[in-house]
Chain A
Amino acid sequence: MRIDLAQATRLATLARDGDADAFDALVAACDRVVLELAERLLLDHHEAEDVRQLAWLKAWRALPQFDARASFPTWLYRIVVNACRDRTRARQRAAQHAGPMRALPLALAAAQRGPAADLERDELRQRVVAAVEALPAEEREAVVLRHFHDLNASEIAEVVGRPRTTVQSCLARALARLNFRLKPHAGAPAFSDPVTRTP
């Protein structure tokens, strides 16, 4: 799902200049996208809802600094990604203090809350969520922004704050890892384990 760039930037500019209705329209247009991005990065629906709320608060507070020449979606994605990083760090700290009992398999928990149309689809979803969870954070960010939000490598680089070449490396490694996990018996030997050569 991709935000309509021109419409969102126009609404953001109006909202920045004090148009409350424009801000409401902006939230309505981008709310679902923010939730989806947060959930796919955090792999937890409830935490994603919290982060969505937080991201909108941050966006509203920082709106006066928004430059109309910039792309609003990129600006908003950056806020969401940073909020997710903060949440992940907080979660890791909490897990360290609470011991192993708190470190539940988040992917499984998230999968159980997903909309399961049928068993087969639910099973695939669980496997995909587990594979995405196994990715390093920077690869997960890159592949989620590319596949689900249709951002190109340059836009992703701007959102995650890394060079374009690094983003491309992340994307290539991420898809190779996902392929290895999701299609372990597939026939292409080059991608049986292209990155680490370990199972």
Chain B
Amino acid sequence: MTAFYIIIVGSLVALNGAILGSVLLLRRMSMICDAIVHAILPGLVLAYLFTSSRGSLAMTFGAISSGIVAATLVEFTQQKFQITREAAIGITFTTLFSIGIILLALFAGQVELDQDCVLFGELAYVPLDLWITDEGLNLGPHSMWSLAFLTIGVITYVAVGFRPLVLCAFDKEFAELQGIKVQLWHYSLLLMLSLAAVTSFHAVGAIMVMGFFILPPATAFLFVSSVRSLMLISCSIGMLCVISGYFLAQYMNVSIAGCIITLNGVVFFAAFSNRLYMKLNPPRPIDKTI
């Protein structure tokens, strides 16, 4: 049963990651994903301090606010202070993350957020945090339910926003001419990202969440030709790596999430090498005259 819970939770994280991650990849926002994942920390800490609860709602709200603040700051610093976009991203997320750590340290006595757990999470603990109703019915881990709701939310969001999100990716001016509110979709995407990050971090940790968003879509991107297949193949790769990663981690007795991400990385490089090999050694037509 433990294995089942872990794999389900992991797969849900992978599913969300693959779908949102595909959109991010197309929009060249992969490094912003890294930034957002780090930047949600101060929001989480502040949410805890203000509400004195580790309740998911407070944390979620804190993370989303933090994510939006980060996104806004990146745009602001880039435009007002005339620095490169990469520099704006770098300065914003490192500063926000540092503020988060300082807040954590300042209120160390009051905060039960375990630094390690927030950042690295541990899939192995997921089955320990079960939702048992008053009647004694075991409904499975909390993470499973929150992730399930998240998945519905993410799929709805991407389905509704498919055209503006994907169209905006290729041509911002054209999208604006079509009447699409480019800014709105940009910020809502980052909001969804923050939401997905905070929901997933209980299980896999804030930083490793990023691996789920980046690696399966990047692997699929190497050889697909449509956005839909990009998403479908990323989801498949993501989930397969969760399952194999779990068993591999059990065998090697190492971090489950770390193993899953590393496996994702190996799959990416295998696919990359394969593409490279195919490019350098294109198949020759069969010589029928022999």
Question: Do A and B form a real pair?
Answer: no
Binding site for A on B (CB under 8 A): none
Binding site for B on A (CB under 8 A): none
